[in-house]
Amino acid sequence: MEATGAQWKGDIRKAFSALSSSHEGLSHSEAKTRAMHFGPNAVADKASQGWLAILFSQFQSPLLLILVAATFISAFLGDLFDTLMILACIIGAVILGFFQEYKSEKALAALRKYFTYRAVVLRDKQKEQLDSRQLVPGDIVFLGAGDIVPADMRIIESEGLAINESVLTGESREVMKDASSVPTGSSPQEIKNGCFMGTTVVAGSAKCLVVSIGGSTFFGKTASLFSARVPESDFHSKVRTFGDMVFKLVLAMALFVFLVNYFLGHGDKNPLSDSILFALALAVGIAPEALPAIITISLTSGSMYLAKKKVITKKLVAIEDLGNMDVLCTDKTGTLTDESIKFERFVDLDNNDSHDVLEYAFLCNAAVGNVYVKGNPIDVAIRKGGIAKKIDVSRFAKQQIIPFDFVRRRMSQVVMEGEKRYLVVKGAPESVISACTRLRMNGKETPISRNISVIKRMISGYNREGFTTIAVAYREVPAKAKYSASDENSMVFLGFVLLSNPPKATVKATIERLESLGVSLKIVSGDDSLVTAKLCSDIGLKITGGEVATGAMLSRLKPKELLRAVEKYNVFARVTPDQKLRIVESLRQSGHVVGFMGDGINDAPALRTADVGISVDSASDVAKEASHIILLDKNLDVIADGVEEGRKIFGNITKYILYTMSANNGNMITVALSSFFLPFIPMLPSQILLNNLLSDI
């Protein structure tokens, strides 16, 4: 189904009517019927090749083109036997290469099916998590921060929804979206009440109506105009350079052999044709022309091996880089620690459980749902904690959300209670403190400056115990049409929400195994330095450089100083997404092959820039899209398995090159030199080519 202008314009009821849907969504039976009519919600996969493309790719080998030239030369000179013999060698080489690559392509296609994006959909009036390929026009979908928009959708309702549409528009800035906006045109930039396939949710949440799917979306129409090109890896670049060098050497040798044999008059029938064919066959006989196929087969075999361990390789060449990796940078939460953050306590500044703190933290929250709660891990933990405590916030009406960002490190929510309006702020303690002028302690409000040392001692104490500390503040605000981050001032500090996130059971063993393989670990976290240091103590990771490097410290460093800092320190805390990216870039600039493991929106830039981006299946859609490798299981030991497999593949390819080059050079150079002293060509071109083909088989 394709979107029309009418589906974006006018009352949402018109869009529901046009799509035969409602606020309650579709039934499973209706969705099944529509799926049969519209097909899957998918855009043609440009990464996979059809059999015809694989077949034609066999003729891109320079050495095979030499054989084709030899066939024409032999046919032109009237040598039927040699023509047929060379042609048979060409057909044999093409068939062998085609079936090897076709089998590898099928195996990779099967692996790609394991990796899917999921969407929260309303079916039969119940929220369900479904494969996004199952969406149909008329479905109701719920979006949250970190999601990749699965289809073109009309917004029904939203809270602080910010979308990055750079995949469609090329503009990287966030675009605010809401249901009440009126389209000013027909392009994505002009439709502010719609979300489009492939774009990413940076902040906020929304309930949306699916308008178009698959190839009918803006993304689908655009994607069909381009063919994907996989970037060349460092290993492939070196292989190509090696191939170019060999190609030039064998051509030079072939030219020399041809000239010598021609002027010596060697050949049974025609010295010119025999010398040309002998020289060309010799060139083909020396070169390791099966190397591309060997690389593809080895990497595919490695992918299948890792798939058995529930590791999906999105980018095949990442296995090579995984084997070469010598530094693994990793986020803390959700990667080294358990997937879920646990809600522990809600305390005021008297260290007592506080209903007000929990209530305001529950209100200032971007997570959605009651049974299935969706959102960032911290908001999900707080929402689940409030639900478990049976908190009742029905007397409040949410008015406007000011989304979290990694510069402010806090979010705000405007709520109404009767005729009063309150601005509630929740975020990193130091960020919330900076917006406060007063605090509530012993039931009284006093200037925050008098007790700032008390607050800092409490934060340090909680952090040393390993708690992630979230601060909560509020103030009454006057009525206005729109609130912004500039209203986050003169707040009253209330207290803290305490969260825990213990390390995974396998982390310590994995770190030891990686170190034995020569891979050093660096923790790059947005959490507090004391919390991060406590985790290091728990997993047995020694902090180098004498301290935890903080984001504030890194922000003062010049580029050359940062290069030294990333070598000196192995634990970084309170870093921004941009600083994570700079750390990865600096390590790569220093000559390291860098892996980065993360699962959040803030990890995406670093994941995309690293030589190997690693994420988990439960990560945000944005993180998974930026990654090269996805862990379906939470067992981190498979990363070490991947390093070993990558090194094994590299070793096998190196062995093939050494074996083939030494054997071919020995045989062909002997034949070439003997031809200078014998009155005849010592080995017929057809014999050389047949020997070469049988060796490859």
Give per-residue pLDDT as tens, 632-651: 876 778 888 889 988 998 88
Which structure tokens are listed for 674?
């003997």
Q: Does 342-500 carry CATH code 3.40.1110.10?
A: yes
Fold of 311-337+504-634: Rossmann fold (3.40.50)
**Nearest CA to 180 among 202, 156, 209, 148?**
156
**Nearest CA to 410 among 344, 462, 364, 451?**
364
- For a pLDDT cut of 90, what percent of the chain falls above it? 36
Residue 312 pLDDT class (50, 70, 90 cuts): confident
pLDDT digits (tens, 9 = 90+) for 572-582: 998 988 899 99
More confident residue, 209 or 654: 209
331 in catalytic set = yes
Sequence spans of domains, the chain: 5-41+135-223, 51-112+231-295+651-696, 311-337+504-634, 342-500
Fold of 51-112+231-295+651-696: Calcium-transporting ATPase, transmembrane domain (1.20.1110)
Q: Hey, CA dihedral for 553, 611, 150, 115, is it positive or negative?
A: negative
Which of 331, 348, 487, 617 is flagged as catalytic?
331
Non-local (6+) Cβ contacts of 438 within 8 A are: 445, 446, 447, 448, 490, 491, 492, 493
Which residues pair with residue 195 across a beta bridge? 153
Element (H, E) at 432: helix 429-434
- Please state the φ and ψ torsions of residue 118, each to the nearest 5 degrees: -120, 150
Residue 52 pLDDT exceeds 90: no
Q: Which of 53-67, 133-147, 182-196, 477-491 has the lowest mean pLDDT?
A: 53-67
- For a pLDDT cut of 70, what percent of the chain falls above it? 85
Which structure tokens are listed for 56?
């034609």
More confident residue, 117 or 149: 149
How far from the centroid of its chain's Cα atoms is residue 325's Cα?
17
pLDDT digits (tens, 9 = 90+) for 225-248: 444 444 455 566 666 677 677 778
What is the 8-class DSSP label of residue 26? B
Q: For residues 47, 51, 57 and 59, what is the CA-based torsion angle, rounded to 10 degrees?
A: 180
| Whole-structure pTM value | 0.72
pLDDT digits (tens, 9 = 90+) for 411-427: 999 999 999 999 999 99
- Classify domain 5-41+135-223 by CATH architecture: Distorted Sandwich (2.70)
Q: What was the pLDDT predicted at 619?
A: 78
Element (H, E) at 157: strand 152-164
Kindly report the average pLDDT of the chain as a whole number. 83
Which residues pair with residue 81 across a beta bridge? none
Q: What was the pLDDT predicted at 112?
A: 60
Burial of 8 (0-12, 13-18, 19+ CB in 10 A): buried
Q: What was the pLDDT predicted at 44?
A: 63
246: amino acid identity, one letter: V
Pairing of the two strands 549-550 and 571-573: parallel
Residue 141 pLDDT class (50, 70, 90 cuts): very high
**CA distances (Å), 129 to each of 171, 403, 456, 491, in order?**
31, 24, 42, 39
Q: Which of 217-226, 244-253, 298-307, 449-458 has the lowest mean pLDDT?
A: 217-226
